[in-house]
Amino acid sequence: MIKIAPSILSADFSKLGSEVAEAEAGGGDWIHVDVMDGHFVPNITLGPPIVSAIRPHTKLPLDVHLMIEQPERYIADFAKAGANVITVHAEACVHLHRVVHMIKEQGALAGVALNPGTPAYAVKEVLSDIDMVLIMTVNPGFGGQSFIPGTLSKIRQVRSWLNEIGRPDVHIEVDGGIAEETAAAVVGAGADVLVAGSAVYSRPDRAAAIAAIRKSAEQ
């Protein structure tokens, strides 16, 4: 089953409650929340108080993508705020294995993200400890960028390792430039959670936008 995770980075921040509710009503599976610190990526977005504020507006899992340095400092705060999935970047964690287990101890699903320039090997040693690998299909920091086709081989590599270790249940999420035009290719390579920011929130009819991505993904 393919999951579509609308990213609120492209939503109207003055009405996040109704924006997440529309994504849920429109058939989204998870709500993707992009946290940026102005250090790991050249942009600043939001923190745990915003996650708490949107929590009552949807029953969907909140999928929190931490694009921050030293994410271990904030994992408990995001879990308490209502995050169900917490993803840290391999590039931001000196002690990745420890950080993954901190996330699990908080009762959240643990994800590890890789930038386009980071090899798949950076996640290999923790594959049996985690619930999701997030393969960035753009350089993180901004919505509305173009999909990088070279990331498809990394998706295939990680899916093949997951099959080898008997963990086909581990999600592969893709994030960046995902739309009707790119969904089929990433799913064909082995992704099963598709983040979509501008492809959902730049369109007035969010249900139609989500349905179009799902149709392409499930072909």
Residues 39-98 that bind Zn ion (CB under 5 A): 65
Residues contributing to the site for ligand DX5 (CB under 6 A): 7, 9-10, 32, 34, 65, 138, 140-145, 175-178, 195-199
- Nearest by Cα to 111 from 3, 212, 13: 3
Nearer to Zn ion, 7 or 216 (CB): 7
- What number of H helices and E strands is found in the chain? 9, 8
175 marked as binding residue = yes
Does 37 engage in binding with Zn ion (CB under 5 A)?
A: no
Per DSSP, the residues of 83-142 read -SEEEEEGGG-TTHHHHHHHHHHTTSEEEEEE-TTS-THHHHTTGGG-SEEEEESS-TT-
Is 143 marked within a binding site?
Answer: yes
Contact partner, 161, from ligand DX5, Zn ion, none, Cβ < 5-8 Å per class: none
CB of 65 to Zn ion, least distance (A): 4
Q: Closest by alpha carbon to 193, among 212, 207, 213?
A: 213
Q: Which is nearer to Zn ion, 177 or 190 (CB)?
A: 177
Q: Active site residue: 29, 63, 175, 192, which one?
A: 175
Catalytic residue among 34, 37, 63, 131: 34
The interface with Zn ion within residues 153-192 (CB under 5 A) comprises: 175
Of 145 and 165, nearer to ligand DX5 (C-beta) is 145
Residue 15 CB, nearest approach to Zn ion (Å): 20
Residue 32 marked ligand-binding: yes
Burial (Cβ within 10 Å: 0-12, 13-18, ≥19) of residue 157: middle
Active site residue 34: yes
Position 3 contacts Zn ion (CB under 5 A): no
Task: Tell whether 177 is in a known binding site.
Answer: yes
Q: How far is the CB of 63 from Zn ion (least distance, A)?
A: 8
Residues 6+ apart with CB under 8 A from 114: 89, 90, 91, 120, 122, 123, 133, 134, 135, 136, 154
Which letter, b or e, does each residue of 64-89 get, where b requires 16 or more Cβ atoms within 10 Å of its Cβ? bbbbbeebbebbeebbebbbbbbbbb
Between 136 and 187, name the residue whose CB sits nearer to Zn ion: 136
Residues annotated as catalytic are: 34, 175
Contact positions vs Zn ion (CB under 5 A)? 34, 65, 175
